[in-house]
């Protein structure tokens, strides 16, 4: 039997792909702006050494810098989106490299600005800040001035800017190996159809009701990582060493402090997350034991942890139907929100389906001057694809509101709050589906199961990832060896803690840490766990309190990056400085588990 092949990019209909004309009509237009920016970079020298002369010169320099940055973001966004369409397309890989190089050169030329701003005497800076012409830049300047103790001399800053492209090598190597060179082979699904295994459909195989299928998919998938484990370990270690280098050069106490400083997040927020989750694993263990019982297994393995506990519920949801479901689920946010969302999801925001060489996973991306684009690898038969669509739609609507209501200087929100907007949408989707299926006990159980698994993956799993990052960074900070064996043993220890005795840990699972792309963006994953905790609280407020809570939430989206993220969340109605939201999220999870057990007994 001929296996079902992943299509080539050229075989995907145009109306299923994103429309990048909000960025550039053509590659030639991209080249024109590239050449324009390239010719303007040298103009930074007009302002070098002059920022303290007058408030007029000071403002002109910032205006120029932000204008050029805005153009570079547009250039880079187009290049990275085109390169992600097909990682084997060398032309667009070249465009991406050119965009990165342009950004690096601009960073080199502008590297004097931050130390020069920070060198301005406090009295003069206060005078500048009191000038009405600088009003829109106050928060921007506050963030720069906070870094004063961690900013080096002009010469060192210039060298650091030059190093960025080279330092990105571990991430690029991992990306090419993981997205292009790894071959997972083919296998038969439960109907006997031979299908090529890929990142895009691995999760679909893991929800197969046929245990032999999901078991074979698991071991076959991880065999590719076993075959390349030494290379993958080397890329991860050198990514950690990159983090160590930059944190030490800038005189931070540790890598984590450096990563959290920009968002003004105390390390106690990170530690509270880990401590609170690890102290409240009982509901998670209860759920895993219930899963094992309902699947009638003597042993629960990782490949048994995603399959629905009711096997006779199937979904076949075309993309357009998923959009309609999404629109109905988001009605608590009002007609204006859902009108924009619907037009975007059907009108060119989304690159919908997998093609050969396409970047795996999903994301929302864009810039101030473009639509908020979404990359998907949508699967009709996988309900997770509907959740992913609305998750990324949450990011994109956040971008839409922020870009509409903030100036360029303050539009870019942080990842810390971004994950609130995305998981908020997922929570409303589950609430909607549970209402729709309230008279269908099997689908009720299915969606409860799905919501529990979503929180499990976002809160418990990402917290385990966060602790792995903390431990591995601490290892390199202590100048201790971080070999493949140390990496996998560290991960194995965490698996044993976070799963207890509920799961049989196959040796292959210790390789999971080598395939997580987010580990190349240090101290990122904890934001999923804090985000889902805040989202659960805010979704509950919107559903139960109506317009005041809805308005507060939409105003939160409008803030963009105009405040520090913890302050934005306080405005929305939740304080992440305390363990309270994490505890409430775990209580919500525990209640869902009890509700699932009761519903299952009535089948």
Secondary structure in 3-state letters for 136-163: HHHHHHHHHHHCHHHCCCHHHHHHHHHH
What is the pLDDT at residue 3?
A: 66
Whole-angstrom CA distances from 137 to 63, 358, 398 are: 10, 39, 22
Please indicate, yes or no, if residue 530 is contained in any of the structural domains.
no
The conformational region for residue 4 under phi > 0 = left, psi -120 to 50 = alpha, else beta, is: beta
What is the pLDDT at residue 152?
A: 87
Distance CA 603, CA 597 (A): 10
Give Cβ neighbours of residue 51 (< 8 Å, ≥ 6 apart): 57, 58, 61, 113, 116, 117, 120
Please indicate, yes or no, if residue 424 is contained in any of the structural domains.
no
Among the residue ranges 83-97, 145-159, 451-465, the one predicted with the least confidence is 145-159
Token digits for 19?
């429309």
Query: What's the structural domain count of the chain?
Result: 1
Can you point out the beta strands (E) in 362-410? Answer: 363-365, 373-375
Q: What is the pLDDT of residues 354-390, one digit of tens each?
A: 999 999 889 999 999 999 999 999 999 888 899 999 9
Please indicate, yes or no, if residue 584 is contained in any of the structural domains.
no
- Average the pLDDT over 224-236 and give the result: 97
- DSSP, res 438: T
What is the pLDDT at residue 14?
A: 92
Q: What is the pLDDT of residues 246-259, one digit of tens each?
A: 999 999 999 999 99
Burial level of 374, CB count in 10 A (0-12/13-18/19+)? buried
Distance CA 597, CA 476 (A): 44
Please indicate, yes or no, if residue 81 is contained in any of the structural domains.
yes
Give Cβ neighbours of residue 173 (< 8 Å, ≥ 6 apart): 235
DSSP letters, 346-369, are HTTSEE-S--TTPPSS-EEE--TT
Residue 2 has pLDDT above 70, yes or no: no
Q: How confident is the model at residue 165 (pLDDT cuts 50, 70, 90)?
A: confident
- Average the pLDDT over 425-453 and give the result: 92
Instruction: Answer yes or no: 343 catalytic.
Output: no
Angle 514-519-525 (CA atoms, 0-180°, nearest 5)?
125
Token digits for 402?
């922020």
Please indicate, yes or no, if residue 318 is contained in any of the structural domains.
no
Please indicate, yes or no, if residue 158 is contained in any of the structural domains.
yes
Residue 581 has pLDDT above 80, yes or no: yes
Whole-angstrom CA distances from 296 to 289, 300, 301 are: 11, 9, 13
Cα atoms found within 13 Å of the Cα of residue 483, Cβ hemisphere only: 3
Please give the residue range of the domain that contains residue 35: 10-167
Please indicate, yes or no, if residue 256 is contained in any of the structural domains.
no
Burial level of 460, CB count in 10 A (0-12/13-18/19+)? buried
pLDDT, mean over the chain? 94
Matching residue, tokens 């990011």: 395
CATH of the domain at 100: 1.20.140.70
Cα dihedral 229/235/241/247 (nearest 10): -130
**Selected catalytic residue, list 85, 108, 392, 426:** 392
Distance CA 248, CA 72 (A): 29
Q: How confident is the model at residue 84 (pLDDT cuts 50, 70, 90)?
A: very high
Burial level of 13, CB count in 10 A (0-12/13-18/19+)? exposed
The separation between CA 96 and the C-alpha centre of its own chain, rounded to angstroms, equals 20
Q: What is the pLDDT of residues 188-217, one digit of tens each?
A: 888 888 999 998 889 889 988 899 999 999
**CA nearest neighbour of 245 among 489, 5, 495, 477:** 477
| Buried residues in 60-92 as b, exposed as e (16+ CB within 10 A) | ebbebbeebbbbbbbbbbbbbbbbbbbbebeeb
Please indicate, yes or no, if residue 148 is contained in any of the structural domains.
yes
Residue 1 has pLDDT above 70, yes or no: no
| Cβ atoms within 10 Å of 169's Cβ, excluding its own | 13
Residue 493 has pLDDT above 80, yes or no: yes
Q: How confident is the model at residue 587 (pLDDT cuts 50, 70, 90)?
A: very high
Furthest CA-CA distance within the chain: 78
- Average the pLDDT over 581-585 and give the result: 93
Give Cβ neighbours of residue 527 (< 8 Å, ≥ 6 apart): 415, 416, 418, 419
**CA nearest neighbour of 180 among 224, 238, 240, 235:** 224
Question: What pTM does this model have?
Answer: 0.83
- Average the pLDDT over 500-507 and give the result: 97
Distance CA 473, CA 522 (A): 9
């Amino acid at each position: 039997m001929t296996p079902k092949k992943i299509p080539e990019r050229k075989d995907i209909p145009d109306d299923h792909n994103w429309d990048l004309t909000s960025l550039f009509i053509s590659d030639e237009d991209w080249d024109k702006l590239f050449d324009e920016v390239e010719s303007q970079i040298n103009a930074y020298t007009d302002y070098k050494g002059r920022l303290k002369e007058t408030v007029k010169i000071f403002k002109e320099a910032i205006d120029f810098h932000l204008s050029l940055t805005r153009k570079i973001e547009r250039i880079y966004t187009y290049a990275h989106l085109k390169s992600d369409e097909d990682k084997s397309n060398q032309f667009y890989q070249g465009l991406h490299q050119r965009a990165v190089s342009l950004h690096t050169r601009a960073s080199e030329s502008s590297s004097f600005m931050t130390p020069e701003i920070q060198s301005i005497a406090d009295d003069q800076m206060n005078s500048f800040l009191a000038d009405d012409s600088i009003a829109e830049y106050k928060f921007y300047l506050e963030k720069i001035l906070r870094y004063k103790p961690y900013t080096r001399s002009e010469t060192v800053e210039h060298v650091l800017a030059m190093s960025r492209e080279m330092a990105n090598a571990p991430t690029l190597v991992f990306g090419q190996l993981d997205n292009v060179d790894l071959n997972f082979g083919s296998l038969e699904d439960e109907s006997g159809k031979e299908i090529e295994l890929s990142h895009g459909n691995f999760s679909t195989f893991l929800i197969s009701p046929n245990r032999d299928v999901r078991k074979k998919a698991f071991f076959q998938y991880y065999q590719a990582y076993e075959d390349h484990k030494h290379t993958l370990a080397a890329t991860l270690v050198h990514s950690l060493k990159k983090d160590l280098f930059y944190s030490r050069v800038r005189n931070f106490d540790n890598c984590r402090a450096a990563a959290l400083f920009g968002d003004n997040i105390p390390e106690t927020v990170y530690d509270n997350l880990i401590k609170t989750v690890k102290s409240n694993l009982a509901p998670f263990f209860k759920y895993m034991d219930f899963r094992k019982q309902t699947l009638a297994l003597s042993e629960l393995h990782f490949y048994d942890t995603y399959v629905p506990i009711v096997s006779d519920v199937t979904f076949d949801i075309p993309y357009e139907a998923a959009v309609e479901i999404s629109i109905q689920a988001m009605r608590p946010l009002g007609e204006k929100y859902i009108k924009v969302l619907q037009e975007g999801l059907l009108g060119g925001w989304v690159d919908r389906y997998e093609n050969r060489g396409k970047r795996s996973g999903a994301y929302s991306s864009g810039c101030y001057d473009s639509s908020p684009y979404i990359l998907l690898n949508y699967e009709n038969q996988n309900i997770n694809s509907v959740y992913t669509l609305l998750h990324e739609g949450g990011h994109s609507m956040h971008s839409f509101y922020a870009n509409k209501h903030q100036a360029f200087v303050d539009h870019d929100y942080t990842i810390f709050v971004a994950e609130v907007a995305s998981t908020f949408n997922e929570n409303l989707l589950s609430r909607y589906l549970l209402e729709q299926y309230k008279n269908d006990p099997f689908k009720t159980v299915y969606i409860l199961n799905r919501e529990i698994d979503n929180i499990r993956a976002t809160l418990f799993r990402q917290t385990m990832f966060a602790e792995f990052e903390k431990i591995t960074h601490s290892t390199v900070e202590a100048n201790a060896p971080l070999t493949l064996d140390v990496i996998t043993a560290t991960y194995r220890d965490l698996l044993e803690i976070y799963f207890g005795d509920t799961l049989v840990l196959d040796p292959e699972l210790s390789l999971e840490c080598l395939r997580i792309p987010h580990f190349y963006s240090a101290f990122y994953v904890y934001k999923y766990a804090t985000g889902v905790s805040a989202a659960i609280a805010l979704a509950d407020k919107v559903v139960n309190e109506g317009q005041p809570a809805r308005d507060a939430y939409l105003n939160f989206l409008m803030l963009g990056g105009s405040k520090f993220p913890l302050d934005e969340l306080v405005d929305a109605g939740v304080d992440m400085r305390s363990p309270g939201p994490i505890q409430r999220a775990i209580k919500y999870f525990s209640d869902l588990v009890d509700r699932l057990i009761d519903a299952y007994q009535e089948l």
